[in-house]
Chain A
Amino acid sequence: MLVEQELIEKARGGDGGAFNEMVLAYRKRIMGTISRLIGRPEDVEDVAQEVFVRLYYSLDQLRTPEVFEPWLYRLTVNASYDYLRRARRRNESRMADLSEQQVVMADFLASGRRDGDERHKSQVREFVDALFQHVSEEDRLLLTLKEVEGLSLKELEKIYRVKENAIKVRLFRARQRVLKAFNRAAADGNL
């Protein structure tokens, strides 16, 4: 944990200074996770603030400080999911067409510049985002937490409050869908 349990207890008791310290300790990590979950850097700060507002008002429901991090991740996933739903309702979500992404990827690979450059990073992001279009938003979040954020099944179990086996099954199915799209792109010679 990035903060002492004592600090969490103080924040639970209504200490504004302790809450400030907690936010300062976690905000960068949470913003990074949100950035990968929603894929829109311009809205990351807004969603992160929503997470901490929800944290402020739900701290008294936290049973023990030991479960603080899964609790915070849970709030992060929920706030990101709410954002994605709102964005979908506004028709603002980026529904990138995989075939277009494949062309972009092919162009990039043809140019022969692979490492360390911003264009390459941007294309990788767009390509993975396009692959994620093949799964639901819930599965996209789950896959990102597992495969990109590197959370363990045990941690996911605590965040989602469901049995590990249920998460395994859901992850497997989502990964298979993404893998199928990935293999199709590879078969087309774009990888």
Chain B
Amino acid sequence: MNGESKLDQLFQTYRAACPDVEPSSNFMPRLWQRIESRHSFGFVFQNLARTTVTVCAAVCLLLVFLNFVPPFRAGAVQTPNYTDVLMAEHNAENTDYTEAIHGAIEEPVSASPSR
């Protein structure tokens, strides 16, 4: 008898050697308990998932809404910051300088015909 057939025989002996396991008397009640407990877990999980989806949808809608509403111009009421002041001063300086030059140029032009 070669190794292959000996192995086949061993497997058959193994099958016969494995004991028949008899179900206990509370097999069915325990089975239904497990089914029920998984069912209730599933029910709680489903409810939780549904609530989470609803909240997420509401947050998404809110974000979309905020995206389309014109943004609030907070700078309009706030006090001017440093750059605003600097810009204002710069504009004022330019104006004075221009006016001074303007005056200096205009004076001789207006004076010459009177001479």
Kindly list chain A residues whose C-beta atoms are within 8 Å of the C-beta of B35. 53, 56-57
* Chain A residue at minimum C-beta to C-beta distance from B11: A147
Q: Is A73 an interface residue (CB 8 A)?
A: no
Q: Is B50 an interface residue (CB 8 A)?
A: no
Kindly list chain B residues whose C-beta atoms are within 8 Å of the C-beta of A44. 21
B15 → A minimal CB distance (Å): 5
With contacts A23-B31, A53-B31, A182-B3 taken as known, whether A48 is within 8 angstroms of B38 at the C-beta atoms is: no
Instruction: Assess the A147–B21 pair: CB atoms within 8 A.
Output: no
Kindly list chain A residues whose C-beta atoms are within 8 Å of the C-beta of B6. 182, 186, 191
With contacts A182-B6, A191-B6 taken as known, whether A48 is within 8 angstroms of B15 at the C-beta atoms is: no
A140 → B minimal CB distance (Å): 12
Instruction: Assess the A125–B14 pair: CB atoms within 8 A.
Output: yes
Instruction: Assess the B13–A28 pair: CB atoms within 8 A.
Output: no
Contact of A35 among B7, B16, B18 (CB under 8 A): B18
Contact of A178 among B7, B19, B22, B23 (CB under 8 A): B7
Complex: A24 Cα to B35 Cα, angstroms: 16
Q: Can you pick out 8 interface pairs between chain A and chain B where the beta carbons lie within 8 Å of each other?
A: A28-B20, A28-B23, A35-B19, A124-B10, A124-B14, A125-B18, A175-B7, A179-B7
Kindly list chain B residues whose C-beta atoms are within 8 Å of the C-beta of A23. 28, 31
Instruction: Assess the A128–B21 pair: CB atoms within 8 A.
Output: no
* Chain A residue at minimum C-beta to C-beta distance from B31: A49
With contacts A178-B7, A179-B4, A179-B7 taken as known, whether A32 is within 8 angstroms of B14 at the C-beta atoms is: no
Kindly list chain B residues whose C-beta atoms are within 8 Å of the C-beta of A148. 11, 14-15, 18
In chain B between 1 and 58, which residues have their CB closer than 8 angstroms to a CB of chain A?
3-4, 6-8, 10-11, 13-24, 27-28, 30-31, 34-35, 38
Kindly list chain A residues whose C-beta atoms are within 8 Å of the C-beta of B34. 49-50, 53
Kindly list chain A residues whose C-beta atoms are within 8 Å of the C-beta of B8. 147
Complex: A94 Cα to B23 Cα, angstroms: 24
Complex: A191 Cα to B3 Cα, angstroms: 11
Complex: A49 Cα to B31 Cα, angstroms: 6
With contacts A147-B8, A179-B4, A191-B6 taken as known, whether A35 is within 8 angstroms of B28 at the C-beta atoms is: no
